[in-house]
Amino acid sequence: MSRLIQIKKHPFPSLLYLEWTLLVITALTAVIPPPLRQFRHKPPPPELSICGAFPDLSVCNILPQLSIYGLIIFALMGLRLPRSNQLTKVIYTAIEILLILMTGLFGERYARLFPFLYIILVTRSCLIFKLPGRLFVTSLSFTLFLFTTQLKYQLFNFQASPQAQERSRFLSLNWSLVFGLSLVFVLLMMNAVLSERHSREKLAIANEKLRQYAMRIENQATLEERNRIAREIHDSLGHSLTALNLQLETALKLWQSNPIRAETFLATAKELGSKALKDVRQSVSTMRFNPLQEQSLELAIASLSENFHHSNGILPIYQINLEYSLPPEINTAIYRITQESLTNISKYASATEIKLELTTTRDNLRLIIQDNGRGFDLGQNTTGFGLHSMRDRTLALGGEFNINSALGSGCKITVNIPLMRLT
């Protein structure tokens, strides 16, 4: 069974300890004798005293005891502050006010410090109400304090001399002013403490969101890096191995009929194998393999066309017109897209004519790669990794990637990349 009262769940345990300290000071006044006074007032007539309305003396004897019990209940109420609906908070505060009034009106010597209870009331109200409710409770506490003080002043100064009444009125006014300023100070202090706590909670939430966001960014960056590595391996190593496989197949076919020519294909295959091994080593060591290797994009595409001609016996017709110097990321993307397109044509198209056109304007770069091969159905053959790789590279640069193909009608790939955003 869980405990009904848990001090650790109090929003401000230090304030709870402060409340207990004030309540202990208030309770100790019950056993501390009042200070000697040079002038003592005559007791008020029975009909004007608080107990005058109660002829039975036992009632007047019970009221101070009820005040002590009320003080104890008031202290215990601070252990569990209401956090549910507004009605519960209002009822809770109303009960506190009744207990304070009972202590101030019917208490004996310990009731001299009952204003401390109003300070505790304002402190608790700051913990359960918003700013309008805090202001209302503070104003009500000061009003009730004035009412209680004025009532006791009229009762105990009824037969006092005019000089004593004037002195008592002056002390009462000063005490009321000090008490009002104390309530305002407590209200401002609690508002500052709660505001700081709210700021810390918001900062903690913001830090947690930032941490989660950083984790998502890290995961996203890791995923993108994995995709990039996969594209690099597929575009470089896959291209070399595909060409290597074609060279070996041709060499096997010509080995018996034309050994000299087969040896040429084997030598080319050896070079492709060495290049593939170099690509793997560079990808594993740096993951930043630059396929252009300090050469221009025109020379790199010409090298691709020459390799395609050696591997397939078909020389692509290419036209390159670059009026502007392109950023490295665009050069790499165009090279990889061209390389992947030629690889797909070599593997699947069975084409006899290939056209490549690369042009730039002030605002745009356009790459067109077209073949007269057997083509494919766009609704069924657009999920390959090579096509995804070309599309991802284009979209990463803010460009557009289009494929036009049909069975028996070849394939046309068009890439448009804006240049103004990247310059």
User: What domains lie within the chain, and their CATH numbers?
Assistant: 7-34+41-160 (no CATH), 295-423 (3.30.565.10)
Do 326 and 297 contact (CB within 8 A), yes or no?
Answer: yes
Q: What is the pLDDT of residue 372?
A: 93
Q: What is the pLDDT of residue 327?
A: 87
pLDDT for 23 equals 67
What pLDDT is recorded for position 154? 63
Confidence at residue 36, expressed as pLDDT on a 0 to 100 scale: 44
Q: Which residue has the tokens 């402060």?
A: 18
Angle value at C-alpha 13, between 11 and 18, nearest 5 degrees:
125
Q: What angle do CA 317, 322, 323 make, to 5 degrees?
A: 150
Q: What is the reported pLDDT for 221?
A: 63
* Residues in the chain where the model's pLDDT stays below 50: 1-5, 36-50, 52-59, 110, 286-288, 422-423
CA 316 to chain CA mean position, Å: 54
Q: Please, which residues bridge with residue 415 across strands?
A: 367, 401
What pLDDT does 5 receive?
Answer: 44
Give me the amino acid identity at 146: L
10 Å CB burial of residue 251 (0-12, 13-18, 19+) is: buried
CB count within 10 Å of CB 311 equals: 23
